[in-house]
Amino acid sequence: MGINLNYYKRKGERIMEIRGNGIAQKVLENIYKVIIGKEETVRLLLTALLADGHVLLEDVPGTGKTKLAKTLAKSLHADFSRIQFTPDLLPADITGLNIFDRQSNAFVLRKGPVFTNILLADEINRATPRTQAGLLECMEERQVTIDGTSYVPGEPFFVIATQNPVETAGTFPLPEAQMDRFMMRLSMGLPTKEEELDILSRYMEKEPLEELSGVLTLQELQQAKQEVTKIFVHRAIQEYMVDIVSATRNEESILMGVSPRGSLALLRCAKAYAWLEGRQFVIPDDIKAVAVPTLAHRLLMDFGRNDSRESTAYIRKILEQTPVPTEDFQA
Cα(first)–Cα(last) distance of the chain, in Å? 21
C-alpha dihedral over 13, 14, 15, 20, to 10 degrees?
A: 150
For the chain, what percentages of helix, strand and coil (3-state, to nearest 5) are there? 45, 15, 35
Residue type at position 187: S
Say how many C-beta atoms besides its own lie within 10 A of residue 122's C-beta.
Answer: 20
The candidate with the shortest Cα–Cα distance to 311, out of 268, 254, 267, 249, is 254
- Set out the domains of the chain in order of their start, with CATH numbers: 1-33+230-331 (1.10.8.80), 36-204 (3.40.50.300)
- Cβ atoms of 74 and 212 within 8 Å: the answer is yes
Give the strand pairing for 144-146 and 118-122.
unpaired
Give the pLDDT band (50/70/90) at residue 133. Answer: confident
Give the strand pairing for 80-84 and 7-10.
unpaired
Q: Is the pLDDT reported for residue 267 higher than 60?
A: yes
DSSP 8-class letter at 108: E
Q: Is the pTM of this model over 0.85?
A: yes
Give percent of the chain with pLDDT exceeding 90: 56
Which segments of the chain does DSSP mark as H helices, in order?
A: 19-32, 39-50, 65-75, 91-95, 129-141, 176-179, 193-202, 208-211, 218-229, 235-247, 260-276, 284-295, 308-321
Q: Is the pLDDT reported for residue 19 higher than 50?
A: no
Q: Kindly report, residue by residue over 79-124, the tens digit of the pLDDT.
A: 999 999 999 999 999 999 889 888 888 888 899 999 999 999 999 9
